[in-house]
Chain A
C-alpha cells in the first residue's frame, strides 16, 4: 500500500504536513496540540463522534465539528479549544453535561488518580457544578463477571466497551440497553461476561464504570509502581506493566506493543497473577523423608543434596524442561549439566523449527494480510489468544480466512499468512517455502507453540553443548524444571522409572509422593531475563516482585562452582554468553522496552516434513486440546474458574447434521470401553471427520470416538 500524498493542515495557526486521510486528532498531535477525546479509540474501528468531547471549529463548516470523524484535507483550517472560544465553550459544555449525572465517587473510585474524566475536567471543564437536582441512580456495583464490576452511575456512555465486544473481540456479549438518559451498559440477557478478552474493557473504560474486582480498593495510583515486563503465560509474550504495591503484584496492565498485542491482553495474562501468592507456594527447599512426607531444609543442605544426586546418577541424567524458564536460567542449567556433567539428554517442551526464521514477521502482519490460512487442529484462541484477535482484525479488513493452503487463490495472492496451531508444525517450513512466502512482502508463517519460551529454552539447551543425547535407561536422575513439566503426564511416567527425581517448582501439592528433592521455583513476574516469543522476538522480562526463594541463577551459580563450571549469577552476564552463540552478540541492555524483531533470515534447507501419521481408527478423530484457562496458575485463581471450558465436544456442521446433533444437546462420546457425556457445540472452524474436546474432559478417550445422542 503506497503512502498517500501529504497535505497541509493549519491547526491553531500552526501548519503541519500529514498523509492525506489522517484523522484530525492525530493531525493535531503531529502539530503538538492535544484534542481531548473520550469515545475515540482507533483500535475499535471507525470513529463514531458520540461523546462530543473533541469539538473544534473548522473554517467553512457551520457548527463546531467532532474532530475524530474528520480527516485531514489539504488547506483545512482548524481551531481547537486553545484558540477558539466557541470550541472551548463547546468542550466545557460537554464536560458539564457528563458531570451532571456523574456521581461524586472520586474518593472511593478505583479510577481516581488515573482517570481521564478527572484530568480533562481540570483542563477543559467547569470549575463548579450548576446542577442541584438528584442525579440518576442505579444499583451498583453490578458484577458482570467474577472479574469485572460495572458501575452504571459512573458510566459516561462512550460505548468503548460495547464497541470492543462487538467489533474487536466479536463476542457480542456487552450491549447497551434502553435509550436516552436511561441507557445502561449490560451483558446480553444478563449472563456473565464470559469471554477470553473481557478484561480489556477495564483498561478501555475512561472512568471507573468498569473495574477489576481483583484490584478493587487495592491501591491508589500514587502508591504503586508499574514494572515494565512481558507476560509469560503463552507464547505471544504481550508487553505488560506489572503494578506492584509494597512488594506484591496487584494487577497487570497492557504496555501496548503495536506489533505484538496492540494494547490488548487476554484474561489469563491479565488476571492469573495471583498464582504468585498461592497458598501452596514453596518458599524453602523440600527434602523427602518418607513416602509422602517432606521437610524444609536449608539451602546449603539442599545444594549438598543436589550435588550428591548429580554425582550419584553416573551421567544417567535426563532434564525435563517446561518452556517457561528464561533463556538465561535454561542456559545456566544446560551449561551446568552439559559442560559440567556431560548430561546431554533433555526433554524439551516441544519441537521448534529454526527454519521458520526465514518467514518471520511481526504479528501485526496478520492484520494486513489478504489471505490467512489457519492450519493445525487446535483452536488458535486457546494457544495464543492475541493471534485470534489479529485474525479477526484481518477478516474485518477484508482478508479471507481459509482452512487449507491448497488452491489457486492462495498461490496467486500477495499478502499470505500461514498459521499453524497445534502439533505437526514440522510441515510448516516446507509449506511456506513452497508458497514462496519469503519473497512475498506482507507474508509470513507462524507456528503457535504451547509454551511461553519453548524456542528460547531450545536455543539455550543447544547453545550449551553439541553432543547428542544419550537417552539413558534406566534414568539415574530426572530433573523436572518448572510447573508445566511437573504437570506433564509423560514426564510423570518417566519419573516413575527414574531412580531419583529433582524438581524445581513453585507449587507444593502436585509434587507430593514422587519427587525426592524440591527446590523453589520462580514465576515470570519474579525473574529478570529474556523470553523468545512465537515470532522469534527476544523480549526482556523484569522482576516485578521478589520471589520467596532465591532466583534460579543464584543457586545455579553456587552449584556450578562445585562442578568447576563458570556461571555468573547475573542475567546480563549469562545472556552475554548465550547471545554470542545464538543471538548475534546482542547486548542485554539493548533488548529494549518494545523489543524489535530482526528481519527474516535467508531461506535455508527446509526440513522435509515427515509423512503425517494418521493413527488408524474407526469413527471421528478426537482432538484433545489444552484450553487457555487451564494449568497450574489458573487452577490457583478461583475468579478465573468460570472461564474454564465445560464438558463439551465441538463438531463440524457436516458431522452434526449427519448425526442429527444440534448445539446444546447432550451427546455420548465413546471409545474403547469409555463413554463420556458431553454437550455438543457445532463449530464452523472444524473440518469434518474430527471432533474437539478440552483435554480435561477427554481423559480416557482414545484417538477415535463414536458420537451418539
Chain B
C-alpha cells in the first residue's frame, strides 16, 4: 500500500495510555457525509480517560456512509484520529459497519504491508514524530 492510502480510521492514545481524543466533535463537523457521532463526557479524577477536560464517551463512525476523504483527520486538533491503511472492511450486515470507539482504538487485526515512505517523498507528519 502507498503510505498515504486512506483506509480504516484509527483512534490513538498518548504514550501514557490516555486517549488523545477529547470529544470536541470537530471531526463530526468537518465530515461531509455526516457519519461521525460524538457524545462527550467530563473526565473525573478517579476515572481519567483522556488528556483534556473531557473525553468522548460515545464515538461512532458509520463506515457505510464514510467516503474516506480524510477531512476528519485534517480537522482533529490533537491528531487523535487518522486514516490508516487497512482496506478489508466488508461485513455481512450494515449494523456491523458502525464502528464504535473500542473498535477504532484497537490495533488492526491484519497488518497491511506499506511501502517505504522515503521512496515516495512523503515527509513524516509531525504527529508521527513527537507524541
- Point out residues on A near B: beta carbons under 8 Å: 105-108, 112-113, 216-218, 220, 222-223
Contact = CB atoms under 8 A, between A and B. Distances in A.
Contacts of B116: none
Contacts of B54: 108, 217
Contacts of B108: none
Identify which of B25, B38, B42, B77 gathers the most chain A CB atoms within 10 Å of its CB.
B25
A441 to B, nearest CB: 51
Contacts of B29: 113, 220, 222
B78 interface: yes
Contacts of A108: 22, 24, 52-54
B130 to A, nearest CB: 17
Given A112-B24, A220-B29, A222-B28, A107 B78 contact: yes
Contact of A107 (B26, B28, B41, B42): B26
A169 to B, nearest CB: 29
A105 B29 CA distance: 17
B28 A220 contact: yes
Contacts of A106: 24, 77
A218 B23 CA distance: 10
Interface of B: 22-26, 28-29, 38, 40-42, 52-54, 77-78
Given A107-B77, A112-B24, A220-B28, 19 more contacts: A105-B53, A106-B24, A106-B77, A107-B22, A107-B24, A107-B26, A107-B78, A108-B52, A108-B53, A113-B29, A216-B42, A217-B54, A218-B40, A220-B24, A220-B29, A222-B25, A222-B28, A223-B25, A223-B28
Contact of B42 (A113, A217, A223): A217
A216 B53 CA distance: 11
Nearest to B53: A108
A106 B25 CA distance: 11
A102 to B, nearest CB: 15
Contacts of B23: 217
Contacts of A220: 24-25, 28-29, 38
A107 B52 contact: yes
A223 B41 CA distance: 15
Nearest to A104: B77
A624 B79 CA distance: 60
A112 B22 CA distance: 14
Contacts of B38: 220
A271 B34 CA distance: 30
Contacts of A223: 25, 28
Nearest to A105: B53
B40 to A, nearest CB: 4
Contacts of B25: 220, 222-223
Contacts of A107: 22, 24, 26, 52, 77-78
The 10 residue pairs across chains A and B that have the minimum distance between CB atoms: A107-B24, A217-B40, A220-B25, A108-B53, A222-B29, A217-B54, A108-B52, A107-B77, A108-B54, A108-B22
Nearest to B50: A108
Nearest to A245: B39
Contacts of A217: 23, 40-42, 54
A579 B53 CA distance: 53
A104 to B, nearest CB: 9
A15 B49 CA distance: 58
20 contacts: A105-B53, A106-B77, A107-B26, A107-B52, A107-B77, A108-B22, A108-B24, A108-B53, A112-B24, A113-B29, A216-B42, A217-B40, A217-B41, A217-B54, A220-B24, A220-B29, A220-B38, A222-B28, A222-B29, A223-B28
Nearest to B56: A217
Contacts of B52: 107-108
A218 B54 CA distance: 11
Identify which of A108, A112, A220 gathers the most chain B CB atoms within 10 Å of its CB.
A108
A424 B108 CA distance: 75
Contacts of B28: 220, 222-223
Identify which of B24, B29, B77, B78 gathers the most chain A CB atoms within 10 Å of its CB.
B24
A223 B54 CA distance: 17
B21 to A, nearest CB: 10
B95 to A, nearest CB: 18
A223 B24 CA distance: 12
B27 to A, nearest CB: 11
Contacts of B24: 106-108, 112, 220
B72 to A, nearest CB: 13
Contacts of B53: 105, 108
A313 to B, nearest CB: 49
Contacts of A222: 25, 28-29
A218 B41 CA distance: 8
B124 to A, nearest CB: 23
Nearest to A220: B25
Contacts of A216: 42
B30 to A, nearest CB: 10
Contacts of A105: 53
A113 B38 CA distance: 15
A216 B42 CA distance: 8
A329 B29 CA distance: 40
Contacts of B78: 107
Identify which of B22, B28, B40, B52 gathers the most chain A CB atoms within 10 Å of its CB.
B40
Nearest to B41: A217
A223 B37 CA distance: 9
A586 B121 CA distance: 71
A542 B54 CA distance: 33
A708 B54 CA distance: 53
Contacts of A112: 24
A226 B14 CA distance: 37
A107 B50 CA distance: 13
A542 B41 CA distance: 29
Contacts of B42: 216-217
B55 to A, nearest CB: 9
A108 B77 CA distance: 11
A112 B38 CA distance: 15
Contacts of A113: 29
A415 B78 CA distance: 60
Contacts of A218: 40
A593 B112 CA distance: 57
A416 to B, nearest CB: 52
A340 to B, nearest CB: 47
B41 to A, nearest CB: 6
B45 to A, nearest CB: 14
A597 B124 CA distance: 66
Nearest to B29: A222
Nearest to A213: B42
